[in-house]
C-alpha cells in the first residue's frame, strides 16, 4: 500500500477494500443487536458485472443484509457512488431452468448486456446515485482522501441518503457498523458478483443486449 498526495492504491483487492471483510463480520454483530436493517427484497439470483474502468465520486461502502424472495438472507457490501462513469461495462445473468414449474424443461438462458465501449467518457455508461449490493469484487483501485473504519451512520453523499430514504430514514447500520468513504474511487479491470443495483439515473451509451441458450456467455 502506498500513499501519495492523499491517495491510496491497492492492487487486486476483494470487496473493494480488504477491511471490508471486517464489515461482513460486523453484520452478525449488528443483527444480534437488532441494529442492522435489511435493504430491500431481491430475486435471490446473483449476476456478474465487469468493467474496464469505473471512476466514481463521493464513494462509500458499508455492510448490510438483503432479503431473498424465500425470506433467506444474503450478507452484502453496499458500494455507493454519487456519480460514476463506467467504461466497457458487461453484465450477465444465467437463469435457473427450474425457477418456473412447467411440464416441460426450459433451457438454460444467459442474458448478457454490454455498454460504454468508447474511449470518450461522455459516451460511456454514466450513473448518478449508484448503489451496488455485492459479495465479491476484484479490481485494481485508487482512492482519494479515504477514511477507513468510519461509523456507517455518519456517511454522507446523495447515494447513501437515497439508500437511507428507501428504508424510511433508517441509518445504514444503526450506528454500530463498519464503513469506509473516499472523495473519489478509480477502479480498473473490475470483476464483481452482485445481487442488486440501483441508480437515480443510468445512461447506457452503446447498449447491446443478447440472449443465449447456454451458460457459456457470462462476462467472466
pTM of the full structure:
0.80
Which pLDDT tens digit goes with each residue over 175-194? 447 789 999 999 999 999 99
pLDDT of residue 103: 76
Do strands 38-42 and 47-68 pair parallel, antiparallel, or not at all (unpaired)? parallel
What average pLDDT does the segment 41-61 reach? 91
- Residue 215: the pLDDT is 81
pLDDT value of position 127 = 95
Mean pLDDT calculated for residue range 96-113: 79
Cell of 149: 473504519
Helix residue ranges, H only, the chain = 20-32, 158-166
CA pair distance 185, 204, nearest whole angstrom: 20
**Taking Cα atoms as reference points, which of 202, 201, 160, 192 lies closest to residue 90?**
192
What pLDDT score was predicted for residue 29?
Answer: 40
* Helix, strand, or coil (residue 113): strand
Measured CA to CA, the distance from residue 168 to residue 63 in angstroms comes to 18
pLDDT at 101 over 80: no
What integer pLDDT is reported at residue 178 of this predicted model?
78
Amino acid at each position: 500500500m502506498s500513499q501519495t498526495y492523499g491517495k491510496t492504491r491497492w492492487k487486486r483487492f476483494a470487496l473493494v477494500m480488504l477491511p471490508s471483510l471486517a464489515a461482513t463480520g460486523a453484520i452478525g454483530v449488528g443483527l444480534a443487536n437488532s441494529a442492522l436493517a435489511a435493504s430491500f427484497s431481491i430475486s435471490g439470483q446473483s449476476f456478474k458485472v465487469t468493467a474496464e474502468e469505473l471512476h466514481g465520486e463521493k464513494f462509500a461502502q458499508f455492510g448490510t443484509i438483503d432479503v431473498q424472495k424465500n425470506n433467506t438472507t444474503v450478507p452484502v457490501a453496499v458500494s455507493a457512488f454519487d456519480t460514476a462513469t463506467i467504461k466497457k461495462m458487461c453484465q450477465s445473468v444465467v437463469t435457473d431452468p427450474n425457477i418456473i414449474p412447467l411440464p416441460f424443461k426450459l433451457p438454460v438462458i444467459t442474458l448478457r448486456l454490454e455498454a460504454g465501449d468508447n474511449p470518450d467518457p461522455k459516451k460511456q455508461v454514466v450513473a448518478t446515485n449508484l448503489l451496488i449490493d455485492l459479495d465479491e469484487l476484484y479490481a485494481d483501485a485508487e482512492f482519494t482522501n479515504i477514511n477507513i473504519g468510519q461509523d456507517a451512520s455518519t456517511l454522507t453523499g446523495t447515494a447513501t441518503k437515497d439508500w437511507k430514504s428507501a428504508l424510511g430514514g433508517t441509518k445504514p447500520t444503526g450506528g454500530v457498523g463498519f464503513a469506509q468513504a473516499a472523495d473519489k474511487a478509480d477502479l480498473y479491470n473490475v470483476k464483481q458478483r452482485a445481487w442488486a443495483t440501483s441508480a437515480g439515473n443510468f445512461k447506457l451509451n452503446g447498449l447491446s443486449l443478447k440472449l443465449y441458450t447456454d451458460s457459456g456467455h457470462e462476462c467472466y
